[in-house]
């Protein structure tokens, strides 16, 4: 990734977190935790957009896509007539 890019998810806004490394000697040094960002192409309406998205949001989008596909497949399958 380019060092000038922001480390924030375009969907949820998750960004850097700051804290300290604390060893046994208790000498605290600065530490930065960065989110696991991935470049991903999403289809928004009829256009494809490239976004930086954290892996948690990526998993959530995949889950919603699977649920939507299952719902569509359930609508397409014809129902068997009820036995009399």
Nearest CA to 40 out of 68, 69, 3, 10 is that of: 10
Q: Where are the domains of the chain?
A: 17-70
What was the pLDDT predicted at 16? 95
pTM (predicted TM-score):
0.69
Distances 24 to 16, 28, 29, 33 between C-alpha atoms, Å: 25, 10, 12, 20
15-39 pLDDT, tens digit each? 999 999 999 999 999 999 999 999 9
37-50 pLDDT, tens digit each? 999 998 888 999 99
């Amino acid at each position: 990734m380019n060092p000038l890019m922001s480390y924030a998810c375009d969907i949820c806004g998750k960004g850097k977190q700051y804290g300290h490394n604390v060893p046994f000697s208790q000498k605290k040094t600065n530490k930065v935790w960065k989110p696991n960002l991935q470049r991903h192409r999403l289809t928004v309406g009829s256009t494809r957009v490239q976004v930086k998205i954290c892996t948690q949001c990526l998993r959530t989008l995949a889950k919603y896509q699977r649920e939507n596909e299952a719902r569509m497949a359930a609508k397409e399958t014809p129902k068997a007539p009820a036995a009399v």
